[in-house]
């Protein structure tokens, strides 16, 4: 009798956690608890993390018996077999645990390089654990409904809609179009080496790091696009991004709020004339 009553209370507690996880979204919290009805990005990210943990915790309590049976069936994962999966588990678990210990909160980009392995593990879990868990079909329907409800009122739905419009990888950045344009001009002339200058807003630490590692320079990421997409080498290695013998110069204009400093103080050079504009990027060529 006591065991049955305990199970009923655990079930009610799990349902309460699920409902609380769905209702405690950033839209509700921002409307009733934020001073001006708006949340800073860090707070919104924390709320989403709390929602995911609450929903997963509630589902785990509802499916506690089935999950326990499934975990017993997963012991084969860690036994030597013809297709040994232990390297896959270690390749994800070890760096994942290290990053969880050392990475600062609110920086999910630290984990992006692990995403290919994470995707494989998630697919394996969904296919293997789903077939092992003997939960009622209505539990999975409730879980799917709660996940959809948890996404309502967040920024996830607009992001998903944008992905359907522009593809899974999104639209190419304007600088990619700049690189393609300049590379096409070089390939037409039959060249793969040229001096390209970059007049971009930058930060002070670029020059400090450049004194130790020459790979740090203004526009280093654009050099990588030229090199790996088009096999074009930039002979301009100046940390400031521009050199007197530049043949092309790419200038980024606009208002910047990401902490970047203005351009380096470069006198205007009348030898350069505008070729084309791509958004807030301008491509110049020396006469």
The DSSP secondary structure of 59-126, one letter per residue, reads: HHHHTHHHHHHHHHHGGGGGS--SS--HHHHHHHHHHHHHHHHHSPTT-GGGGGGGHHHHHHHHHHHH
pLDDT tens digits, 147-163: 666 666 566 666 666 66
Question: Quick check: 166 pLDDT over 90?
Answer: no
Same domain, 277 and 217: yes
Residues 58 and 155 in one domain: yes
3-state secondary structure of 276: strand
Of the ranges 13-22, 98-107, 234-243, which one carries the lowest mean pLDDT score? 98-107
The verdict on 143 and 256 lying in the same domain is: no
Q: Is residue 7 part of a domain?
A: yes
The answer on 181 and 154 residing in a single domain is: no
The predicted-structure confidence for 227-276, as pLDDT tens digits, reads as follows 999 999 999 988 888 888 899 999 988 655 455 555 566 677 788 999 99
Please answer whether residues 54 and 149 qualify as being in contact, where contact means their C-beta atoms are separated by less than 8 angstroms.
Answer: no
Task: Judge whether residue 135 has pLDDT over 60.
Answer: no
Whether 167 and 179 map to the same domain: the answer is no
Residue 122 covered by a domain: no
In terms of residue numbers, what domain contains 52?
A: 1-63+138-171
What is the rounded distance in angstroms from the CA atom of residue 123 to the CA atom of residue 116?
A: 11
Same domain, 21 and 9: yes
Residue 84 domain-assigned? no
Q: Which of 153, 171, 189 is the last residue of a domain?
A: 171
**Rounded Cα distance, 195 and 248, in Å:** 7
Residue 185 lies in a domain: yes
232, 144: one domain: no
pLDDT band with cut points at 50, 70 and 90 for residue 213: confident
Structure confidence at residue 24 (pLDDT): 75
Claim to verify: residue 142 and residue 276 sit in the same structural domain: no
Residue 119 counted as domain residue: no
Q: Within this chain, do residues 190 and 231 fall inside the same structural domain, yes or no?
A: yes
Give yes or no: residues 160 and 256 share one domain.
no
Domain membership of residue 126 (yes or no) is no
pTM value surpassing 0.75: no
Helix (H, G, I), strand (E, B), or coil: what is residue 273?
strand
In a domain, 179, yes or no: yes
Q: Which residues pair with 130 in a beta bridge?
A: none
Tokens found for residue 119? 């995707």
Q: Per the domain annotation, does 178 fall within a domain?
A: yes
Bigger pLDDT: 209 or 140? 209
User: Phi, psi (5° rounding) for residue 26?
Assistant: -65, -25
Domain boundary among 124, 156, 171: 171
Based on the fold, state whether residues 166 and 209 are members of the same structural domain: no
pLDDT given for residue 186 in this prediction: 93
* Length reported for the chain: 287
Find residue 247's DSSP bridge partners: none
Q: Supply the pLDDT for residue 79.
A: 52
Which percentage of the chain shows pLDDT scores above 90? 18
Residues 196 and 267 in one domain: yes
Look at residues 231, 229, 233 and name the one whose alpha carbon lies nearest to residue 193.
Answer: 233
Predicted local confidence at residue 257, as pLDDT: 47
**Model confidence pLDDT, tens digit, residues 38-92:** 666 667 777 777 777 777 777 777 766 555 555 555 555 445 455 566 676 677 6
How far apart CA 160 and CA 125 sit, in angstroms, is 23
- Into how many domains does the chain fold? 2
């Amino acid at each position: 009798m006591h065991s049955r009553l305990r199970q009923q209370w655990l079930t009610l507690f799990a349902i309460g956690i699920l409902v609380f996880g769905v209702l405690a979204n950033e839209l509700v919290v921002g409307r009733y608890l934020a001073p001006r009805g708006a949340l800073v990005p860090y707070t919104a990210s924390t709320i989403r993390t709390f929602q995911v943990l609450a929903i997963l915790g509630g589902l785990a309590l509802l499916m506690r018996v089935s999950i326990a049976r499934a975990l017993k069936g997963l012991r084969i994962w860690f036994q030597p077999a013809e297709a040994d999966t232990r390297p896959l588990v270690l390749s994800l678990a070890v760096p994942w645990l290290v990053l969880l210990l050392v990475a600062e909160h609110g920086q999910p980009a630290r984990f992006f390089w692990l995403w290919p392995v994470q995707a494989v593990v998630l697919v394996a879990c969904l296919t293997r654990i789903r077939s092992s868990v003997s939960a009622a079909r209505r539990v999975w329907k409730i879980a799917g409904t709660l996940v959809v409800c948890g996404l309502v009122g967040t920024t996830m739905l607009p992001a998903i809609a944008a992905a359907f419009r522009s593809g899974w990888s999104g639209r190419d950045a304007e600088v990619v179009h700049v690189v393609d344009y300049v590379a096409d001009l070089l390939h037409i002339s039959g060249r793969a080496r040229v001096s390209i200058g970059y007049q971009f807003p930058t930060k002070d630490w670029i020059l400090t790091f450049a004194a130790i590692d020459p790979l740090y320079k203004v526009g280093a990421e654009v050099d990588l696009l030229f090199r790996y997409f088009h096999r074009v080498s930039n002979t301009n290695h100046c940390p400031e991004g521009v050199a007197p013998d530049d043949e092309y110069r790419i200038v980024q204009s606009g208002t910047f709020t990401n902490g970047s400093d203005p351009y380096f103080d470069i006198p205007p050079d009348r030898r350069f004339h505008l070729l084309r504009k791509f958004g807030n990027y301008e491509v110049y060529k020396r006469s």
